[in-house]
Amino acid sequence: MENEQIQAQAEEASREASRADATWQANTTSSSQTIRREQPKRISRAPAHLQDYVTGEHLTEEEEGDDQFLVLYTTADDPVSYDEAVKDIKWRQAMDAEIQAIEKNNTWELVELPKGMKKIGVKWVFKTKLNERGEVDKYKARLVVKGYEQRQGIDYSEVFSPVARWDTIRMILSLAALRSWEVFQLDVKSAFLHGELKEVVHIEQPEGYIRKGEEQKAYRLRKALYGLKQAPRAWYSRIEDYFNGEGFEKCSYEHTLFIKKEGGSFLVVSLYVDDLIFTGNDIKLCREFKASMQSVFDMTDLGRMKYFLGVEVHQTDAGIFLCQEKYAGELLTRFGMGSCNAVNNPMVPGTKLSSQEKGEEVNSTEYKQLIGSLMYITTTRPDIMYAVSFLSRFMAAPKEGHLLAAKRILRYLKGTIDFGVFYKKGSDNILKGYTDSDFAGDLDGGKSTSGYVFMIGDGAVAWSSRKQPIVTLSTTEAEYVAATTCACHSIWMKEVLNSVEEDYCKCITVFCDNSSSIKLSKNPVLHGRTKHINVRFHFIRDLIKKGEVELVYCGTKEQIADIMTKPLKLEDFVKLRMLLGVQEKKALN
């Protein structure tokens, strides 16, 4: 009995100990949790290599699923060989269409290869054509001659062919906006196939279209094919003959600009290889020209101009707006900056870079590709002209600092991706220029940077930022050299405009913010300090004396070309960007 009582007491003590232990563990856990909750939370920071990007870690679950945080720019995965393309019916159809176009145009004939003659190779090239919205327009297969196998003096001789300058195209669009003219666009299908060849050229039969039993034969070309060195020249000669036969006059200062005048009506056509834009003050002339082109060449009527060489053109009742939103988006994706943080200016004020920068060298090929792509965006974005031009000086051996500065331009584009130049309807049609220069801003050679901007109405039509070819000894001298460069370009622009509209302008006003340069341009003052200046830069004196150019003083705050010579403070940069006519697309609505 006594033993049973002892055993019962022991079991009870054990149960109490277990309960006490459980209570202690619970209290310990609770206390530990309380302590952990009271500990300060560590702030998580993204690593340095992600500082340019939006990582999304600050977004809520709802925001992460919202499409407004993502802008997707996809590029098509085009085949790179015939074997790859032939597996897909759409590319087979594209190749069939190309061969049919070649044979319909009587481009070649199958012959025995003459003894001692060499046949040139050919290759299929495939490209998915997109419209201005990034949607698939068509699948294009092009049979291209391996022109690098040609021999000068045997297979070809002269090869030069002009193309339209963007300054010319922007001037035409600016005039169209001011006058409320509609601008139309045509595309010549397989344009190079229309060019007549003078040389004897044989090519091999294309892959997939080799005639059975005649494998040893070659095609002798009657007309040009893409890839031939002389193909662009042959096509230009053909289209030039057409314009001459239709009563057009070729502009002596722009060989791709053709004008037709009938009484008070006129038609203006600008040619960029196989793409044509045309406008004028008489819609009847436009329709007649379109019908004539379609009767002579196989054409694609693109209607009103809306997408030209990667540039989006928006014709509205208020004017004409040019931008490269789609191209800029593709560029951001291509260089891995699609999710980068946006900044408000393309270059930090006071930025100083040289070819002797510290840091490791970066891939020069990728850097050149980036700068080249950014340079094309300056077609509609004068606000990044200085930054891109400045960074292009370091393409031989770029360093990390140069690449970082180039990435900043991409970050600026991310925040202003839909910005472009707007030509307002009904504004004044006066052509005026602005010229400016820094002084010895180049750390490597002590040279200065010239910049100019030309305006028609409220929109910029021409701009430039370029390192001067000589070292100048003073601010006056640097501004004088810049003014001469600007004046030379103004004469060319004036002649182009006068060929479109007779007596458009006789004297061009160029604004300069350096009074000493203005005095120097009018009289040989300060002879002791300017006698060494190369005679070519005194050309501006002759222009001013003849009354073709007038150099007028303007304050620094009103000097639009200042944005072309140096990185500016944000407030000044935004002001001058607006004066250039650069604005966002959504502001038009």
Q: How many CA atoms lie within 13 A of 527 on its CB side?
A: 2
pTM, rounded to two decimals: 0.81
Between strands 136-145 and 202-203, the pairing is: unpaired
Contact indicator for 569, 349 with CB cutoff of 8 Å? yes
Contact indicator for 127, 140 with CB cutoff of 8 Å? yes
Q: Name residue, tokens 């990582």.
A: 55
Contact indicator for 398, 367 with CB cutoff of 8 Å? yes
Rounded-to-integer distance, Cα 445 and Cα 472, Å: 11
Residue 32: per-residue pLDDT: 42
DSSP state at residue 158: -
Residue 18: per-residue pLDDT: 55
- Classified as helix, coil or strand, 421 is strand
Rounded-to-integer distance, Cα 522 and Cα 538, Å: 10
Contact indicator for 522, 510 with CB cutoff of 8 Å? no
Dihedral angle computed from the Cα positions of residues 32, 34, 40 and 45, in that order, rounded to the nearest 10 degrees: 70
Nearest Cα neighbor of 143 from 238, 210, 199 is 210
Q: Which helix (H) or strand (E) holds 10?
A: helix 2-38
- Classified as helix, coil or strand, 301 is strand
DSSP state at residue 1: -
Which tokens in the block code for residue 518? 């203005």
Nearest Cα neighbor of 563 from 447, 444, 453, 480 is 453
Residue 71: per-residue pLDDT: 35
Residue 47: per-residue pLDDT: 54
Rounded-to-integer distance, Cα 548 and Cα 564, Å: 24
Cβ neighbours for 197, distance < 8 A, ≥ 6 positions apart: 221, 222, 223, 224, 228, 230, 234
Rounded-to-integer distance, Cα 57 and Cα 45, Å: 10
Residue 134: per-residue pLDDT: 76
Rounded-to-integer distance, Cα 185 and Cα 166, Å: 16
Q: Which domains does the chain have, with CATH numbers?
A: 82-309 (no CATH), 427-554 (3.30.420.10)
Cβ neighbours for 270, distance < 8 A, ≥ 6 positions apart: 164, 168, 169, 172, 256, 257, 258, 276, 277, 278
Q: 541-559: string of b/e by CB count within 10 Å (b at 16+)?
A: bebbeeebbbbeebeeeeb
Which tokens in the block code for residue 223? 């007309």
pLDDT by position in tens, the chain (length 589): 444 554 555 555 555 545 545 554 544 444 444 434 444 555 555 554 445 544 444 444 444 444 333 333 334 588 989 999 999 999 999 999 999 989 988 999 999 999 888 999 999 999 998 877 778 888 999 999 999 898 888 878 888 899 999 999 999 999 999 999 999 999 998 898 899 898 899 999 999 999 999 989 999 999 999 999 999 999 999 999 999 999 999 999 999 999 999 988 999 999 999 999 999 999 999 999 999 999 999 999 999 999 999 999 999 999 999 999 999 999 999 999 999 999 999 999 999 999 999 989 999 999 999 999 999 999 999 999 999 999 999 999 999 999 999 999 999 999 999 999 999 998 788 999 999 999 999 999 999 999 999 999 899 999 999 999 999 999 999 999 999 999 999 999 999 999 998 888 889 999 999 999 999 888 776 556 677 777 788 899 999 999 999 999 999 999 999 999 999 999 999 999 999 999 999 877 6
Which tokens in the block code for residue 472? 């100048």
SS (H, E, C) 68-127: HHCCCCCCCCCCCCHHHHCCCHHHHHHHHHHHHHHHHCCCEEEECCCCCCCCECEEEEEE
List phi, psi (to 5°) of 355.
Answer: -75, -10
Rounded-to-integer distance, Cα 269 and Cα 169, Å: 10
Integer angstrom CA distances of residue 362 from 53, 193, 336, 407:
20, 43, 16, 13
284 burial level (CB within 10 Å; 0-12, 13-18, 19+): exposed
